[in-house]
Structure 1
Amino acid sequence: MERFFKSQKRSNAGLGLFGFRRFFIAVSLMSAAIFATYAISTNASVDDLKNSLQQQLDGIQAQIDQYRAEIGEAQSQTKTLKREIQLLDAKKKEMELQVQQTQLVLEQTKLGIDEKNSQIQGEENKLDRERKLLAEYVQGIYEFDQESMIELIFSKKRLSDVFSEMSSLEAMQKKTQETIAQIKTIKVNLEQQKEELSQKQEEELQLKALQEIQRASLKIQQNEKSNLLTQTKGEEAAYQKMLTKAKANATAIKKQMYLLEGVGLSMTLEEAYNHAKFAADRTGVRPAFLLAVLKQESSWGTNVGTGNWKKDMHTRDQKAFLQICDELNLDPDQMPVSRRPSYGWGGAMGPAQFLPSTWLSYKNEVGRLTGHNPPSPWNIDDAFTAAALKLANAGANQKTEAAEWKASMVYFAGSNWGKAVYSFYGDSVMDLAALIQGQLDIMLA
């Protein structure tokens, strides 16, 4: 009689377990179906928004291409006041469109971040469900293990019942292994989704930085036409006289100030050229191009060099920063870094604005080229050489316009360099490099 009740208890436990499992699966499937219906509806509205943004971007890109063609044609013409005014107007309109373009791409990126967060939440929900299933399987196997094989055999009236119990155990063990494998797969997917989210968040920061550059450049562009008309009073003769005077005055050009506003560094163009040539001789990068990149990086960052590592630097860079300061025997609390902006993090160091972890990856090569051991991100020659190395690694040492343009894009946007929205940065650097090269040609003649 005792064996009978024991058998009945075990049988009921097994049925209860499988009954609960069937109920659990049914609830899971129902939840998944509801979520899928909601997801389809949500995805449809998101896709509509994506398509709308892309259509707007395509239209803006077509207008930008048109203005670029006008700018290229104007630049090939003889310098006249009329041509210069037309050029400034076209550049201003192009820049206004690029500001709109950046805002639309930023909205696209935010949509991507929201989608990725939703996907991560979905994976985490799947992981939670699989873990609960695994717990049920493990509990079932545990209950089987509480009874010996002899007890199992004697508790059953027929041998087929014993085999049925054994088959159930094998099935449960198989399901346990499958669930463990599924959990591992979900974890891998989850890590991948989180990495993709991190990349999208990094791109969002790049776009916000680009917006800052564009706003500053647009303000300069708006003033340039007004200043030109004021200086020439709208007269062609006055403009030509101004050009002739600028070309003839090499001494004034040498003494012209080269400012890296963001880091509070100022020197004459002649001094800046000497530092750039020091780096260029060791890396093969054109001095005018290097000066243009460094000025572009510094000029828009009004918060550069006014921060503190403890509150403005991301925690992932703080260890590297302390290592750099320790090697240079510097007090980290006294060393200037970029202040944290309204988005992202600060913590960039010196004239070239390297983050600590990036600086460490270039440190040994910079030291070998400059002879400084260890090199310092706050030393002008070390900083210029590090920037030149980074640009050379991106192809700038080929000294072609296309290679330099690409290198400046990589310097700013990294793996996103090929996206049209960042073209503004490369174009601005190349325009500035052409201006500086013209000044250097006069100075060195």
Structure 2
Amino acid sequence: MKKLISFILLLFLIVPVIAQAASLIDDLRSQIDQKEQEIKKLEAQAAAYKKELESAQGQKNTLKSQLALIQSRITKLRNDISITGAKIDNASLKIEELTLDIGEKQNEIDKRKDSLATMIQTLYEYDDESLIEMVLVKNSFSDFLNQVHYLETIQENVYKNLLAFQELKKELEGDRTEAEKQRSELYGLQNQLTGQKNVVEQEKNEKNYLLTKTKGQEKQYQSLLDDTLKKQAEIQQQIYELEDKLKLAYDPNSLPESRSGVLFWPLGGVLSQGYGYTAYSKKLYASGFHNGIDIASSYGEPIRAALNGTILAIGNCGKYAYGKWIAVKHENALTTLYAHLSGYGTYKVGDSVKTGDIIGYEGSTGYSTGAHLHFGVYVTQTFRVESMWYGMLPLGAHLDPMKYL
């Protein structure tokens, strides 16, 4: 009888979720739902800001329109910062929810372990008695049948609890994997927030620079613009001539096979200009040649590493050539260039990056007619960085990125 009472008590001890913890988890889920609704509203606003920015970008290049464009960028970027902040809050809530859930599942697993151990011990003790002994010690055949039924019930519950135990362990591992994923996402979002705030500050600095340099006068702005465009054209021709020589300095057999998927797209968006002699390049450059591809999405959008690698160089050509740029060296003899950035990620030269890591943000720095990413692919053995009067200039034997994307 004592064994039967112990068994019944054990069944009551196996409680799936403590009421208090369940209430906390429900509250967290409610907060997560609210955050997700907030993110949706902010993303809808982002779409509207993107349209406003595109409209401002299409205006005639005057001091007034340029200042308005910068302000539109700042407004859009601040909304992006709000989205990232909401995503950080959401990820934190999910981690908290998973932590509670993991604790509850671990408690339940521990209880089921104890319960299973006791049940198995009970079966083991009865297993020592032969069938004849069990019949003889009972007062009646009815008691014997009750005893047999009791043992069958224990065996059935051992089986059920074993299945539940295995399922709980599987769920626990799933929760731990998801929690690790959320922590990684949280870390990435925190870095992204830092990068986005830096881009806003740089836009403010650009606005102040324009006002100081032109003294708010349209005539001085147009003079500054003409001088910049003239120098930009000269620099582009110089880049073409330097890289044309480097194209002869590598072994084609050292390169990976040309096929889709060798590199991943660093930015989702529209391919606004291809590689080589394009309709745009014939108008923009004296050489008529474009040494990479252009991808346009939206100002301030995250730029991601196209493949695992190492940050080889980071530079800034100011208002010329590539503006702000980053080069990543890969183990397949290729180096990728990401240019016209509005800002950088948190990585430094020598740091390792993984495919998809945020290394910068879409911009329009350097010789650029609008927000986009200039993506270049170079033969690593020819890649070098030269110091010019306007900044550090990346050079090398370039390849068509579309052969590897």
1:61-72 aligned within 5 A:
61-72=43-54
Q: Which amino acid aligns with 1:20?
A: S
**Alignment pair present for 1:98 and 2:80:** yes
Q: CA deviation at 1:138?
A: 0.5
Q: CA deviation at 1:149?
A: 2.5
TM-score, scaled to structure 2 = 0.62
In structure 2, the partner of 1:237 is: 219
In structure 1, the partner of 2:122 is: 140
**Residues of 1 paired with 2:244 and 2:180: CA distance?**
37
Q: CA deviation at 1:223?
A: 0.5
Task: Quickly say closer, same or farther: Cα 1:160–1:228, change in 2 above 3 A.
Answer: same
In structure 2, the partner of 1:365 is: none
**Richer in strand (by share):** 2
Task: Quickly say closer, same or farther: Cα 1:23–1:50, change in 2 above 3 A.
Answer: same
Is the contact between residue 294 and residue 374 of structure 2 (CA under 8 Å) also seen in structure 1? no
Q: CA deviation at 1:172?
A: 1.6
Deviations 1:88-108 (A, max 9, x none): 011112112222221121011
Decide which of 349, 371, 386 is 1:431's aligned counterpart: 371
Q: CA deviation at 1:84?
A: 0.6
Q: CA deviation at 1:55?
A: 4.9
In structure 2, the partner of 1:79 is: 61
Is the contact between residue 74 and residue 200 of structure 2 (CA under 8 Å) also seen in structure 1? yes
**Alignment pair present for 1:349 and 2:310:** yes
In structure 2, the partner of 1:188 is: 170
Q: Sequence identity, in percent?
A: 21
Q: Which amino acid aligns with 1:431?
A: A
Is the contact between residue 302 and residue 361 of structure 2 (CA under 8 Å) also seen in structure 1? no
Is the contact between residue 141 and residue 169 of structure 1 (CA under 8 Å) also seen in structure 2? yes
**Residues of 1 paired with 2:97 and 2:26: CA distance?**
12
Q: Which amino acid aligns with 1:433?
A: L
**Residues of 2 paired with 1:40 and 1:197: CA distance?**
18
Is the contact between residue 329 and residue 335 of structure 2 (CA under 8 Å) also seen in structure 1? no
Decide which of 211, 234, 250 is 1:251's aligned counterpart: 234
| 1:128 counterpart SS class | helix
**Residues of 1 paired with 2:13 and 2:330: CA distance?**
67
In structure 1, the partner of 2:195 is: 213
Is the contact between residue 351 and residue 383 of structure 1 (CA under 8 Å) also seen in structure 2? no
**Richer in helix (by share):** 1
1:10-29 aligned within 5 A:
15-29=1-15
**Residues of 1 paired with 2:197 and 2:112: CA distance?**
50
**Residues of 1 paired with 2:228 and 2:198: CA distance?**
25
Q: CA deviation at 1:195?
A: 1.3
Q: CA deviation at 1:425?
A: 4.4
In structure 2, the partner of 1:385 is: 334
Decide which of 356, 369, 384 is 1:411's aligned counterpart: 356
Is the contact between residue 352 and residue 387 of structure 1 (CA under 8 Å) also seen in structure 2? no
Q: CA deviation at 1:237?
A: 2.4
**Alignment pair present for 1:222 and 2:204:** yes
| 1:172 counterpart SS class | helix
**Alignment pair present for 1:46 and 2:7:** no
TM-score, scaled to structure 1 = 0.57
Q: Which moved more, 1:42-51 or 1:242-251?
A: 42-51
Q: CA deviation at 1:231?
A: 2.3
Q: Which amino acid aligns with 1:145?
A: D
**Residues of 2 paired with 1:170 and 1:163: CA distance?**
10
Q: Which amino acid aligns with 2:373?
A: A
Is the contact between residue 95 and residue 218 of structure 1 (CA under 8 Å) also seen in structure 2? yes
Task: Quickly say closer, same or farther: Cα 1:17–1:101, change in 2 above 3 A.
Answer: same
| 1:147 counterpart SS class | coil
**Residues of 2 paired with 1:425 and 1:216: CA distance?**
10
Task: Quickly say closer, same or farther: Cα 1:49–1:297, change in 2 above 3 A.
Answer: closer
Gaps of 5+ in 2: 264-274, 276-290, 315-326, 339-354, 377-392, 395-405
| 2:371 counterpart SS class | helix
Q: CA deviation at 1:271?
A: 6.0
Gaps of 5+ in 1: 1-14, 257-267, 301-346, 354-377, 392-409, 414-421, 441-445
Aligned length: 309
Q: Which moved more, 1:424-433 or 1:96-105?
A: 424-433
**Residues of 2 paired with 1:426 and 1:135: CA distance?**
60
| 1:431 counterpart SS class | coil
Q: CA deviation at 1:63?
A: 3.7
In structure 2, the partner of 1:175 is: 157
**Residues of 2 paired with 1:386 and 1:214: CA distance?**
25
Is the contact between residue 74 and residue 203 of structure 2 (CA under 8 Å) also seen in structure 1? yes
Task: Quickly say closer, same or farther: Cα 1:76–1:120, change in 2 above 3 A.
Answer: same
| 1:351 counterpart SS class | strand
| 1:349 counterpart SS class | strand
Task: Quickly say closer, same or farther: Cα 1:283–1:151, change in 2 above 3 A.
Answer: closer
In structure 1, the partner of 2:71 is: 89
Give the RMSD, CA atoms, in angstroms. Answer: 4.6
